[in-house]
Amino acid sequence: MRDIKNRLDIILLVDTFYEKVKTDETIGYLFTEIAKVNWEKHLPKMYDFWENILFYTNNYSGSPMMVHKELHEKSPLNAEHFSHWTTLFCVNIDAHFKGKKANEIKERAKNIAMVMSYKVIEK
């Protein structure tokens, strides 16, 4: 296995992750039934988001906190949702990548989920 090196690797990890999320029993419904995600729009945003997180490309613009707060208003989110998302994300990375950047993106994802969970649930 190799480390995450570029946007193509980001695309692979995002695509494989969301394929699992769509059918996940714990959080899948949030994406498919509640948010009714338009995957053609969402996936490129996620490529930009994670590429910016890992490689500081400055190519992402958006407000993920607001999106999750709006989702929380439609269907209450809880700590288990964020924890489960983090586990799925990290397992997916471990299935495809190994190295410094792979470890970094897992840590960044954990931190983002923790802050988002606190701000969305605790208000």
The tens digit of pLDDT for each residue in 20-40 reads 999 999 999 999 999 999 999
Q: Is residue 79 part of a domain?
A: yes
How many domains does the structure of the chain reveal?
1
H helix intervals, the chain = 7-22, 28-29, 39-55, 64-74, 79-96, 100-117
Q: Is residue 2 part of a domain?
A: no
Q: Is residue 1 part of a domain?
A: no
d(CA 120, CA 103): 26
Residues 49/93/91/54 CA torsion (nearest 10 deg): -40
- State the amino acid at position 102 in one-letter form: A
- What confidence tens digit (pLDDT) does each residue in 78-106 have? 999 999 999 999 999 999 999 999 999 99
Question: What pLDDT is recorded for position 123?
Answer: 61
Full domain range(s) for residue 13: 7-122
Three-class DSSP category at 27: coil
Output the CA–CA distances (angstroms, integers) from residue 91 to 23, 65, 71, in the order listed.
Answer: 16, 24, 24
Q: Is residue 61 part of a domain?
A: yes
What is the CATH classification number for the domain harbouring 115?
1.10.490.10
